[in-house]
Chain A
Amino acid sequence: MNTLTAKNTDTLMEPRAIRKTKPESAISIKNLNVHAGSHHILNNINLEIPKNKVTVLLGPSGCGKTTLLKSLNKLTDLYKELDVSGSVFIGKDDILNSNHNIPALRQKMGLLSQKPYPLPVSIFKNVAYGLKLKGVKDKKLIAYNVEQKLKEVGLWEEVKDRLHSSADSLSIGQQQRLCLARGLAVKPQIILADEPTSALDPVSSKIIEERFRELKKYYTIVIVTHILRQAQRLADNVVFMHYGKIIEQGTPEAVLKNPQSSQLKEYLVDGF
């Protein structure tokens, strides 16, 4: 018995030791290319996005950050002019080439876009929508989840008395937090955020950023941002892009404090 236990412990220990040196990836991008007509938007992207860390995609406008983010949950489907090739693995499933249930794969990722887009329904239904799509019918369970998620993003106290009024009646900052709650309600493993604070006032931006700092304990987060200070505050891993290519990546200390490429050096000078 003892020897068996020892063997089991050994086999359990081994992968853990490997994980320490090489962090597990939540998303693994292989040879991703995106064209829009003759324009090569993403040029052979290979990238590992570490699990339960914040990865910040940084770069000048038009460098392909947003397209990269949208490729991760195959939102590129919506844009007929885009031609996408390569692979994006979410766990074992390649979302770009999978015959798997794409909506179910997308539910593993919550999206927060630049501007909040509340659904044209009530505050309550906004958060409940994803659950309904998942087939949850139990009204008590839905109501419980709506309350929990609204609390998680710090919106509950502000809206608990008007859950059934239109989501459009909220301020932009509140709407953005509602969209975050809506995304969290489907229990994703990953949060994709495309400049989530760029349309917000400083106070709302601060609230959203604080939420991210909380959320990074439980979720893998990928954020596109222009704001270098935000990148420094939030990032565990920084990816710098330029004209559709990844130029540098690493910890914020390594990338932002000690840039190697001329493009990044130039960007950091202009950016600060």
Chain B
Amino acid sequence: MLTALVLILLFPLLIGVALLFKSIPLLNADSIVNLLFSDNWAPNSGKFGFWPFIFSSLYVTVLSFIFSAPLCLLAAIYLTEFASARLIRIMHPVIDILAGIPSVIYGMWGILVIVPFVGDYLAPVFGLNSSGYSILAGGIVLAIMCIPYMLNMLIETFKSVPYGLKEAGFSLGATHWETIKHIVIRKSRPGIISAFGLGMAKAFGETLAVMMVVGNIARITGNPFEAGYPLPALIANNYGEMLSIPLYDSALMFAALVLFVVVLLINLVFRYLIIASNPAKV
């Protein structure tokens, strides 16, 4: 049992070390600052600037977070505080099914529904021209994929607030909404933050569905109707294909390392936020 535990704990470390080891040739060829923040991506001439990929990844993640977080928060509050017991009984399997759908299906659905919706309907509203394969489409598909995870965790969090606390709010003269706002949400803050963190880490690392709708063009653009190229898509699209180019193998390993470190950082930041937000500390 102890060995199993040690193995589980060692895995992330082993993955990190292996990726770092494989990235060394690239790190020897260029400075890490250049690799991370240069936007010059020209593998044929030995230029590996990862900023467009990192930027795209962050962009779709932030968009998906903006779409999914408020939705999940409100849905979880409704389900735990206002909905009938019957609705909750129906919603639980629905959420589980949503979480179990393979990401390729989300990707297909994105191509069939979200991409045309963004290209044909949403972009013209803003007077823009878009194929639909865009950062925005990636953000929307990711948001839908993250919803079951976040929602499930938020529901559990709100359910764990003791009735006695809500009774205290009511008996002091708070309305139901004031009780939710001042007591339930406050008491649940660590849980809310960890649900958000889980959603973000999942969004940042999600590969297939995003790759199918995001367009996969390496460039930096603030316009969400244009295509982007997130890190996981870069790795999945090119690994095994472009390895004849010198250092490309090492570059993809470095991309994986960056992905790994960012997901780790997201986790660490949220862990810190959870500790800092602990209501016990006021």
Contacts and interface: CB of A to CB of B under 8 A. Distances in A.
B165 to A, nearest CB: 5
Given A79-B163, A107-B173, A122-B282, 9 more contacts: A73-B170, A75-B170, A120-B183, A120-B187, A121-B282, A130-B172, A168-B280, A182-B168, A186-B173
A113 B279 contact: no
Interface residues of B, number: 26
A130 B169 CA distance: 8
Contact of A166 (B85, B174, B182, B281): B281
Interface string B113-125: 0000000000000
Contacts of B182: 119, 129
A119 B168 contact: yes
Nearest 3 pairs of A and B residues by beta carbon = A120-B279, A111-B171, A107-B173
Contacts of B166: 78
Given A166-B279, A166-B282, A183 B186 contact: no
Chain A contact surface mostly: mixed
Contacts of B167: 70, 75, 78, 111, 113, 117
Contact of B171 (A80, A109, A122, A134): A109
A214 interface: no
Contact of A80 (B85, B173, B279): B85
A268 interface: no
Contacts of A109: 171
A130 B182 CA distance: 12
Interface of B: 84-85, 162-176, 178, 182-183, 186-187, 279-282
30 contacts: A73-B170, A75-B171, A78-B163, A78-B167, A79-B163, A80-B85, A81-B85, A103-B170, A103-B173, A106-B172, A107-B172, A109-B171, A110-B171, A111-B167, A111-B171, A113-B164, A113-B167, A117-B164, A117-B167, A117-B168, A120-B280, A121-B282, A133-B173, A165-B282, A166-B280, A179-B168, A182-B172, A183-B172, A186-B172, A186-B173
A183 B171 contact: yes
Nearest to B175: A103
A121 B279 contact: yes
A122 B280 CA distance: 9
A77 interface: yes
A216 interface: no
A133 B175 CA distance: 9
A121 B279 CA distance: 7
Given A80-B85, A168-B279, A169-B280, A117 B171 contact: no
A165 B282 CA distance: 7
Residue of B178, B186, B279, B282 ringed by the most chain A CB atoms within 10 A: B282
Residue of A103, A107, A192 ringed by the most chain B CB atoms within 10 A: A103
Contacts of A120: 165, 183, 186-187, 279-280
A179 B162 CA distance: 15
Given A104-B173, A133-B178, A111 B168 contact: yes
Contacts of A168: 279-280
A115 interface: yes
A120 B183 CA distance: 7
Contact of A119 (B85, B163, B183): B183
